[in-house]
Structure 1
Amino acid sequence: MSGAVRRTGLVTGAGSGIGRAAALEFARGGAAVAVLDLDADAAAETAGLIGKSGGEALAVTVDIADEQSVKAAIGRTVEVYGGLDFAVNNAGMASHDRQLDELTLAEFDRVLGVNLSGTFLCLKHELPLLDGGGAIVNVASNGGLYAIPRAPAYVAAKHGVVGLTKVAAVDYAPRGIRVNAVCPGPTDTPAFDRIAAGTDLIARQEAITPLGRMARPEEAAAAVVWLCSEAAACVTGIALSVDGGRRA
């Protein structure tokens, strides 16, 4: 739109899956997007896709489990774009096929360190930059709302992400900052394909989903982008399911 002010933001874990889909959708809407990912090549690929479509993107490598890396990546985004209007904390890691007594403390700590502490670190360094307005979306999981069998560390971490979201929403609402979570169910991403390889997991997930299929990354991304938009100006502190009816 002629004369429109360009919005700027960042998406973590934007090298593939939901993060990539969200970054592409923000760019289609005219935003400049910093594409953050642990995999530098994947981040560059997403940024390249945005550039080929006429959008503006910046590829930045980040390890969300490391505070200095998070601080540097967010700082780089602000240095290039001059500010931050929205942030999507999507990066995380899976952990499955372990009952609680089979899980080592090291693995439990690692999963919480990436999924929960990593989200905390992103929020910590994003929130001060959004003072006066802006939106943050944390990508949690249906595992942040109910149990996923044999995934205790993942479920604990994602429940924590939902809790952080609610507290941040209440604490920062007086500053005009909105914080929400999106909770996808099983989604057709490369990460899920790796988990399901050699099993009937996808068929089983589809069988217990009311809509009869997994979500597409673009569908979860659409919820993320909406929550960051003015159309959701009075929405904060929610955990929005994108799960084909599983929560119902």
Structure 2
Amino acid sequence: MEVGGFALVTGAASGIGKACATAFIKEGAAGVALVDINETALQTMRTAIEDLIANMEPRAEASSSKGMLRRQPLVATYVLDVTDEIQVHRVVEEAAANFGRLDYVVNAAGVASVRLCGVASTPTEDWKRVLDINLDGTFHVIRSAARVMLEQSGPKRGSIVNIASILGVRSLCNSASYTTSKHAVVGLTRSAAIDYAKERIRINAICPGYTDTPLLEKNAHLHERVASAAGAIPMARLARAEEIADGVLFLAGGRSSYVTGTTLMIDGGYTAK
């Protein structure tokens, strides 16, 4: 996948973010910063990553008079609320300083609406919560990551991948806050990509379809909706988080060096209908 640099992943303790962080390690990243608001889940994830590393073959880094030097990927954890722009700035700066640079940033932190209802019945607090995390949180991370990457040298300064949704390009009844937030993430991705294309910073989005993640188990209404929609997916099943991560690593790494401002649909053909 050509992802040998340093990665930072938000929402890294579960679901798609967890799958992305794991994939970076498996595919040869030099280090991964695991970022999540849930401290307990984050520490569990760190232990899982460290166990994975311990069971991996050591990697050859460089030759020396004594043979090949061996290295293991670095792992850092940061408890972070992405809606807090000051915290975001601190964490991104600290991760970049610890690693020496940030090559890949994945915005996977996100939430669904608490209530599935029409606009007339949508509570203001639910609207603001979803937009704060899904849109403002993504903006905060992109802004801080871009500032770091602009200071980095090399032909490839960095790559940012934002997790949007099929509801970033489609609409669905009774999901105004979530649909709006994901449409906005797609727009933000395109705008930021144009801002920094000449600066050798690539910014893209993934639009996952219905995916089997812990988010479904936490939201009974969402679980019911996804179950009823599964029959409309041409491939006749939900996506696995690891399949979304494969797309993320493709857009993050060198195999997509001429791709920026795009939205990659990983939805089993759902939006092709």
- Please give the range of the TM-score, normalised by the shorter of the 2 chains: over 0.9
TM-score, normalised to structure 1's length? 0.94
Gaps of 5+ in 1: none
Give per-residue Cα distances to partners, 1:137-167, cap 9 Å, x unaligned: 0001111111022110010011000000000
| 8 Å Cα contact 1:182-1:242 kept in structure 2 | yes
Listed as ranges, the matches of 1:121-200 within 5 Å are: 121-131=140-150, 132=153, 133-196=157-220, 200=224
| 8 Å Cα contact 2:161-2:251 kept in structure 1 | yes
Deviation at 1:6, TM superposition (A): 4.8
Cα distance in 1 for partners of 2:176, 2:191 equals 23
Query: What count of residue pairs does the alignment treat as equivalent?
Result: 245
Cα distance in 1 for partners of 2:190, 2:80 equals 25
Cα distance in 2 for partners of 1:104, 1:195 equals 17
Which one of the candidate residues 58, 68, 87 is aligned to 2:76?
58
Q: 1:6/1:201 Cα in 2 relative to 1: closer, same or farther (>3 Å)?
A: closer
Deviation at 1:201, TM superposition (A): 3.5
Deviation at 1:29, TM superposition (A): 1.6
TM-score, normalised to structure 2's length? 0.86
Cα distance in 1 for partners of 2:173, 2:190 equals 25
Give per-residue Cα distances to partners, 1:158-181, cap 9 Å, x unaligned: 100000000011110000010000
Letter paired with 1:65: T
Higher strand share: 2
Listed as ranges, the matches of 1:229-248 within 5 Å are: 229-248=253-272
| 8 Å Cα contact 2:116-2:221 kept in structure 1 | no
Deviation at 1:200, TM superposition (A): 4.3
211-220 vs 40-49, which deviates more? 40-49
Cα distance in 1 for partners of 2:3, 2:233 equals 41
2:136 aligned residue = 117
Deviation at 1:56, TM superposition (A): 2.9
Deviation at 1:73, TM superposition (A): 1.4
Q: 1:24/1:149 Cα in 2 relative to 1: closer, same or farther (>3 Å)?
A: same
Q: What percent identity do the matched residue pairs reach?
A: 37
